[in-house]
A = this chain, B = another copy of it.
Amino acid sequence: MFKIPKHQVAGHQAIDGNLGPLVDDSGRFYKPLQDDERGTTELAFYRSFSSKLPHHIRGFFPVFYGTQLVEASDGSGLRPHLVLQDITSNHLNPSILDVKIGSRSWYPEASEDYIQKALEGDRLTTTVTLGFRISGLQIYESKESGYWKPARKEVKSFSADDVRLVLRKFVSSNLEPEPDCCFASTIYGGCSGILEQLLELKAWFEDQTVYHFHSCSLLLLIDKESVLNGRTVPFVEVKLIDFAHTVEAEGVIDHNFLGGLCSFIKFVSEVLTDSKVSTIEASFN
């Protein structure tokens, strides 16, 4: 039984008869293969990545189960879909941040048309200035108020300060008037927190000359309730998705992704540092 994913925050969505991904009850995510080169590229990536990546890096990617013919969500009939792990399947109220990494989403091998469109988008968002842009998000606040899930247009117009605020809200128990950042030390900090995971990814990107990940998204996925409940393994994950523009690296590191990742790491670490300062100040009052 296929359903529309509850927790998708960016990308094409299978609503109003459009073509988009589906999920089932067994924890699998079905992503329609695009007809053009993007589909070929993404499939080639998923078929090869597990043999090309070191073991400790594979966990940053969704598990790939192959392809399957599935009734497309737009009613156009059977279509090949990538069968992937549904990363959010076990979580009731996940908060999710989708961050497109890199100070450019275009690349020399792409068509001139793609390059010009991507460049325009990069200049209109924080991609050029920050080296990344938030492309979607949902932040769970509480049973009463539910999710904060700003519209795509609002997300696209985020400034550097908006990004800072989102990163604070993401680890807070409240959104207004001033996010309390009370989960910062457990979600961003700690030995298996987001910052440590990002630093592990960074170390790999400083060395890897296998892939260049253009227009790829870094997902931060957390479940604040799992942290509150003191679960031994709280749900705090970093995943990479969207490989329709991932090409071979030809002996050069992915300096575009790496630079953007370092910039994002700096933003996250600033929230963590500020929250520690606030805690110390509070303890003196």
- B262 near A255 with CB under 8 A, answer yes
- Please tell me if A25 contacts chain B, counting CB pairs below 8 Å: no
Q: Please indicate the chain B residues that have their CB under 8 angstroms from the CB of A103 in the complex.
A: 103-104, 255-256, 259
A104 CA to B119 CA in the complex, in Å? 12
Q: Please indicate the chain B residues that have their CB under 8 angstroms from the CB of A255 in the complex.
A: 103, 130-131, 259-260, 262-263
- A252 near B160 with CB under 8 A, answer yes
- B266 near A160 with CB under 8 A, answer no
- List 28 A-B residue pairs with CB atoms under 8 Å apart, sorted by A's residue number: A103-B104, A103-B256, A103-B259, A104-B104, A108-B123, A108-B129, A129-B252, A130-B255, A131-B252, A131-B256, A160-B251, A206-B262, A207-B266, A209-B266, A252-B263, A252-B266, A253-B262, A253-B266, A255-B259, A255-B260, A255-B262, A256-B259, A257-B259, A258-B258, A258-B259, A258-B262, A259-B259, A259-B262
Contact of A253 among B250, B252, B263 (CB under 8 A): B263
For the A-B complex with A252-B263, A253-B266, A255-B260 known, give 15 more contacts whose Cβ atoms are closer than 8 Å.
A103-B104, A103-B259, A104-B104, A130-B255, A131-B255, A131-B259, A160-B251, A160-B252, A207-B266, A256-B259, A257-B259, A258-B259, A258-B262, A259-B259, A259-B262
Q: Please indicate the chain B residues that have their CB under 8 angstroms from the CB of A104 in the complex.
A: 103-104
A42 CA to B88 CA in the complex, in Å? 51
A103 CA to B104 CA in the complex, in Å? 9
Q: Tell me the smallest distance from the CB of A213 to a CB of chain B, in Å.
A: 13
- A160 near B253 with CB under 8 A, answer no
Q: Tell me the smallest distance from the CB of A139 to a CB of chain B, in Å.
A: 23
- Please tell me if A10 contacts chain B, counting CB pairs below 8 Å: no
Q: Please indicate the chain B residues that have their CB under 8 angstroms from the CB of A118 in the complex.
A: none
- Tell me the A77-103 residues at the B interface (CB within 8 Å): 103
A81 CA to B251 CA in the complex, in Å? 42
- Please tell me if A128 contacts chain B, counting CB pairs below 8 Å: yes
Q: Tell me the smallest distance from the CB of A168 to a CB of chain B, in Å.
A: 14
Q: Tell me the smallest distance from the CB of A127 to a CB of chain B, in Å.
A: 11
Q: Tell me the smallest distance from the CB of A169 to a CB of chain B, in Å.
A: 18
A160 CA to B257 CA in the complex, in Å? 19
